[in-house]
Structure 1
Amino acid sequence: MIIFDGLYSFISLLLSMLSLFISNFMSQKDVEKFPFGKHILEPLVISIKSLVILIMCLFTLVGAVKTIISGGNSVEFGLAIIYSVISVLGCGIISFYIKSKAKSLSSELLKAEFNQWLMDTILSAAVLVGFLIAIVLSASKFKFLNPYIDPAMTLIVSIVFLRLPIKTFMESFKEIIAVKADDEINEDIYVLVKEIEEEYRFEDSIARVSKIGRELRIEIDFVYNQNSKLKTLDQMDSVREEINDAMKHIKYNKWLNISFTGNKKWIV
């Protein structure tokens, strides 16, 4: 269990360094090389981090099963408890700090980083509780169970921890392949577009919205005809401004493209 906890912390540290490097790289403006921005890097890094943690959990799960089958192992509980207390405090402080930064920056990368360190804190706390239970058992008639406590905790924690990296990987992978944004954002923008369509008597409209990292990719197309109220370029820009202002409450960077056409084939 200590090896699993330490390995998880070490991998978390390496992945945090990767996140820091990518965050710094994303903050550097380079429009010539990246005309559409670097936001795709955020879900890409999160996917890599999730896969690494998932593989580690599977590896330790298999190792725990083998240890239980072979008769368990022995642990020096005094040193284990000292390690666990230090680990809980250290990981807890880091988790709290990252959570505060994630809120202020609205960064999916930092949110994933917080989840990763929160898991590490929970893991360290589970180690501490498990070893305290083992000390109690060692003074009872159930002391024969002590060799199995360490691998049993590792097995349970590995299984519990599998859920989060799988969920995080699936969410970040959806962003990589540009799946539509969540229903609340989609509904918000859809209602706005339909209101504009009715107001200016457009023949039809379509809105496409996907979320990539901290950015929303939004494409809106309006089809107008002779009955439409909008006729001039200035009026088109006015509609763009109106839509942009109406979406300011959505707390993401926005790549907004609004087009007007008289032929439906350009919006399909």
Structure 2
Amino acid sequence: MTAMGREDTAADIRAERRVLTASLLGAGVLGAAAVVWGLIADAGALVFDGVYTLAGIALSAASLLASRAAASAPSRRFPFGKQAAVPIAVLIQGAALGGTLLYAAVTAVQTIVAGGSRASQTVLLAYGLLSAVYSALLVLALRQLARRSDLARAEIVGWRAGTVLSLVVTVGGAAGLALERTAFRSLGVFIDPALVLIAVAIVAAMPVQLVRAGLHELLEGAPPPDVLARIERVVDEARTAFGLPTPLVRSTKLGRRLYVEVDFVVPHDRWNVDAEDHVRRAIVDRLHELPFDVWASVELTTDDDLAL
């Protein structure tokens, strides 16, 4: 990696840790307030929102540990480093968020079956509005702090889900207040659990996306389309410049690391090590312009089986 690339990576890591720390503090403040307020007001939607937010503290802490592990240098025990810690943390976040939503949905159904909740609609409206503004501001702040981090994106997904949940509570509280002025005021007891079910349905896709993203990297899937297109363009330019045949290109992203393998099958007695190094340098130098820790392997061989 070039000196500029190392500086960019170090800056990204610092920004990533600022995101995780800010998310940790934000979750503590909002989650504690929601749980206390929800218990006092007997509002299941508030308690759920608070528990969901407080769960983010453990997840943010896990992400912070993953960030530190991924940034550690390769060692004898871990010769390729610990980049897998990043997709593992993303996967855990998605699974934990999914479990929280499932628990909330089951609890809401039980509340409906038991006859509803006596939560104040004014409390729901006030909390929902304050929480939505708080969560939305955190999303904006986190997006500014880190733009090239899987862990930061996972945190932002979580806070975006929190914003949606809070907006649902706000709308529900307003609807409940309006319902109290009609002949259907008796239905107000179902507003609170109904809000939880609606919120769960709205954000259900978010944990699925996180789990899929984590699994994709752990299973060595292809990197994002824009990164893959850049790799293909760099390899194609080198192939054209040196008159080489179409190579076999493999690539995958694991955390901050990008693995690229390029194999050219060439005729016998046409290439030596010096010429092969020129091809390697033409590809590797360009790949190091990408915002990743690039581990690239470029090989020229006369044996088809070795390329495969």
Same fold, TM exceeding 0.5? yes
Q: Structure 1: which 4+ aligned runs deviate by more than 6 Å? A: none
Correspondent of 1:12 among 52, 56, 60: 56
Distance in 2 between residues matched to 1:17 and 1:264, nearest whole Å: 48
- What letter corresponds to residue 54 of structure 2 in structure 1? F
> Which whole-Å deviations, capped at 9, do the CAs of 1:168-207 have from their partners, x for residues lacking one?
2112101101012234433443344344334434455210
> Which residue does the alignment assign to 2:287?
247
Matches within 5 A, 1:40-55: 40-55=84-99
Residue of 246, 257, 261 corresponding to 1:215:
257
Which residue pairs with 1:172 in the alignment? 214
What is residue 203 of structure 2 aligned with on the other side?
161
Q: What is the Cα deviation at residue 261 of structure 1?
A: 1.5
TM-aligned CA distance change 1:27 to 1:197, over 3 Å = closer
Contact 2:268 2:302 in 1 (8 A): no
Question: In the alignment, what sits opposite 2:68?
Answer: 24
- Note the 1:102-181 alignment, pairs <5 A: 102-103=146-147, 106-181=148-223
Task: For residue 141 of structure 1, give the secondary structure of its aligned residue in structure 2.
Answer: coil
Show the 5 A alignment for 1:186-205: 186-203=228-245, 205=247
Secondary structure of 2:251's counterpart equals strand
Q: Which runs of 5+ in 1 are unaligned?
A: none
Q: CA deviation at 1:68?
A: 2.2
The answer for the alignment partner of 2:296 in structure 1 is 256
Q: How many positions carry a matched residue from both structures? A: 264
SS of aligned partner of 2:258: strand
- TM-score relative to the length of structure 2: 0.78
Distance in 2 separating the partners of 1:212 and 1:14? 23
SS in 2 for 1:16: helix
Which sits farther off after the overlay, 28-37 or 3-12?
Answer: 28-37
Letter in 2 for 1:254: V
TM-score, with structure 1 as normaliser: 0.89
User: Aligned residue for 2:104?
Assistant: 60
TM-superposition CA deviations, 1:44-103 (whole Å, max 9, x none) = 110011001101111211222232233321102333344334423432332222211221
Please give the root-mean-square deviation of Cα atoms over the aligned residues, in Å.
2.1
Distance of 1:176 and 1:220 partners within structure 2: 21
Cα distance in 2 for partners of 1:203, 1:249 equals 24
* Aligned match of 2:127: 83
CA distance in 1 between counterparts of 2:149 and 2:261 reads: 23
Q: CA deviation at 1:144?
A: 1.8
C-alpha distance in structure 2 between counterparts of 1:119 and 1:19, whole Å: 18
